[in-house]
Amino acid sequence: MKHVDFAVIGGSYAGLSAALQLARARRQVLVVDAGVRRNRCVDEAGETSHGFLTQDGRAPAEIAAVAKQQLLAYGTVQWMEGLADEAHVAADGRLAFRVGETTVSAGRLILATGVRDELPPVPGLAERWGRSVFHCPYCHGHEMNAGPIGIVASSPLAQHHGLMLADWGTPTLFLNGAFAPDNDELAALQRRGTRVETTPIDRIEGHADVLLKDGRRLVMNGLFAQPRTHLASPIAQQLGCALEEGPTGPFIRVDPGQATSVTHVFACGDAARAAGNVTLAVADGAMAAFGAHRSTMF
């Protein structure tokens, strides 16, 4: 049994940020990480991350690696590679979980476990995720070079993409049988100059070519989809943390200090907000650390 004051599960942007604040407060902190970041597909595609101050246009893996290196320079940080599981509130009120053969008992627990994306089953879409298929206009809209942008509908959020992306280029909204805008919505799309395509998609080819069922090929600079998100880890449910339903999927409910509904359990990053990015994950991580630290004093 390993006893620690603070444990952070998830060692990506949110978890690294939380651990850094605790390390700087001279607290003992254990970080457990399985190494499966949400944006790893961007690295695999040789693409870069955008919008995070001082790191715009840098590879996601590099941003995480520099943060980890700076964190591990603090003597009170321990890092464990592996998947945390079987979390529960122990009889003594501490938070217990397993990593392989090791049982960990923590006084305070910060969940920074992220989410996993489920893309619509359009042939050729998943292979291009992080390369020419994205979900966040602020992260990747600028790289569309103000040209043709395809929106592959999989939920009513496609309407939102259809209205937004007109600021980043000339959008075509491919309804693909997944979403039917009403007359008001169609009028709003038209006002924004967004084309609506009702012919279903057969497959995606090349960089971001949309092949329709009627044989037409529409060449796009990139595509936007609305993946369904799932909590990447069942740890929050194992502990009994209350969840909320966001527009793309469930996330862990937190208060403004990032405390969950379970005493001494905090959460941050994509796992604990309706929609996230690196900047927000880092901010939430810092706040979770402040909340967890403060809870030991008062």
User: What is the binding site for ligand FAD (CB under 6 A)?
Assistant: 9-15, 32-39, 41-42, 49-52, 83-84, 112-114, 117, 129-130, 134, 139, 232-233, 235, 269-271, 276-279, 281
> Of 51 and 200, which has the nearer Cβ to ligand FAD?
51
Q: Which residues pair with 231 in a beta bridge?
A: 115
> Of 189 and 268, which has the nearer Cβ to ligand FAD?
268
Minimum CB distance to ligand FAD, residue 214 (Å): 29
> Of 87 and 189, which has the nearer Cβ to ligand FAD?
87
Pairing of strands 209-212, 201-205: antiparallel
Minimum CB distance to ligand FAD, residue 219 (Å): 21
> Of 84 and 165, which has the nearer Cβ to ligand FAD?
84
The CA R_g of the chain, rounded to the nearest whole Å, is: 21
> Of 113 and 172, which has the nearer Cβ to ligand FAD?
113
Minimum CB distance to ligand FAD, residue 243 (Å): 15
> Of 233 and 260, which has the nearer Cβ to ligand FAD?
233
Pairing of strands 148-152, 222-225: parallel
> Of 19 and 153, which has the nearer Cβ to ligand FAD?
19
Measured CA to CA in angstroms, residue 171 lies from 28, 189, 205 at distances of 50, 10, 18
What is the spatial distance between Cα 168 and Cα 143, in angstroms, rounded to a whole number? 9
Minimum CB distance to ligand FAD, residue 76 (Å): 20
Q: Using CA atoms of 291, 292, 294, 298 in order, give the dihedral in degrees to the nearest 10.
A: 120
What is the spatial distance between Cα 116 and Cα 132, in angstroms, rounded to a whole number? 18
Minimum CB distance to ligand FAD, residue 42 (Å): 5
> Of 96 and 189, which has the nearer Cβ to ligand FAD?
96
Minimum CB distance to ligand FAD, residue 72 (Å): 15
What is the spatial distance between Cα 36 and Cα 114, in angstroms, rounded to a whole number? 9
Minimum CB distance to ligand FAD, residue 94 (Å): 18
Minimum CB distance to ligand FAD, residue 295 (Å): 21
